[in-house]
């Protein structure tokens, strides 16, 4: 006799119309420059009985980066920074997920920027599933983290005559996402 184990895996698809990837970095060591990458896609698959077995995959279209200043955006997309022509996608793929509290998780995974892949840790929150008014189900997710851009080969900078540098090394990341799952 064979025993069958039923898993309760649910797969959600990121809704790009209701999701954003944001970042900020210090400029001249004093001000925060904020930006957004609007081209976002991804999935979350999870077994409701084993959240640690979940997987998260997110891809960002680096060409959609915007800071509200066209000249700066062009520079950030250039070979000095992201080199979007050669490396159009920024990707995160989870390797391990640890539940740290109710609806709170630590995501350990590979982040790829400019062709360089490094392990990063993101702090995430996940809402309970709700029925969507348009059919199916929805969840909300947030993730934050801090990376050193130089770890990914993004090393351009300018030394200031007054001391310091033009662009900080630490990049603060934030993803806010709404994800959809079809009706059972």
Query: What is the model's pLDDT at position 112?
Result: 98
Query: What range does the domain containing 162 cover?
Result: 10-181
Kindly report the CATH number assigned to the domain that includes residue 156: 2.40.128.110
In a domain, 18, yes or no: yes
Return d(Cα 182, Cα 165) in angstroms, integer: 49
Query: What is the model's pLDDT at position 4?
Result: 44
In a domain, 177, yes or no: yes
Return d(Cα 184, Cα 181) in angstroms, integer: 9
Q: pTM for this one? A: 0.88
In a domain, 127, yes or no: yes
Terminal alpha carbon distance of the chain: 29
Query: What is the model's pLDDT at position 76?
Result: 92
Per-residue pLDDT of the chain (184 residues; tens, 9 = 90+): 444 445 578 999 999 999 999 998 877 777 888 999 999 999 999 887 787 788 999 999 999 999 999 999 999 999 999 999 999 999 999 999 999 999 899 999 999 999 999 999 999 999 999 999 999 999 999 999 999 988 998 776 677 677 776 677 889 999 999 999 998 7
In a domain, 144, yes or no: yes
**Integer angstrom CA distances of residue 42 from 48, 141, 149:** 19, 12, 22
Q: Is the CB of residue 68 less than 8 Å from the CB of residue 143? A: no
């Amino acid at each position: 006799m064979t025993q069958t184990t039923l898993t309760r895996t649910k797969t959600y698809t990121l809704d790009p119309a209701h999701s954003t990837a944001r970042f900020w970095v210090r400029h001249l060591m004093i001000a925060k420059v904020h930006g957004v990458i609007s081209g976002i896609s991804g999935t979350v698959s999870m077994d409701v009985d084993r959240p640690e077995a979940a997987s998260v995959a997110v891809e960002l279209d680096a060409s959609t980066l915007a800071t509200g200043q066209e000249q700066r955006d062009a520079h950030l997309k250039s070979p000095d920074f992201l080199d979007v022509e050669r490396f159009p996608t920024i990707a995160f793929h989870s390797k391990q997920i640890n539940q740290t509290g109710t609806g709170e998780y630590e995501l350990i995974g590979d982040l790829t920027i400019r062709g360089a892949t490094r392990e990063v840790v993101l702090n995430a929150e996940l809402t309970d599933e709700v029925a969507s008014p348009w059919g199916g189900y929805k969840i909300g997710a947030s993730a934050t983290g801090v990376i050193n851009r130089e770890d990914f080969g993004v090393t351009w900078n300018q030394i200031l005559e007054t001391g310091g540098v033009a662009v900080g090394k630490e990049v603060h990341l934030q993803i806010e996402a709404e994800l959809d799952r079809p009706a059972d």
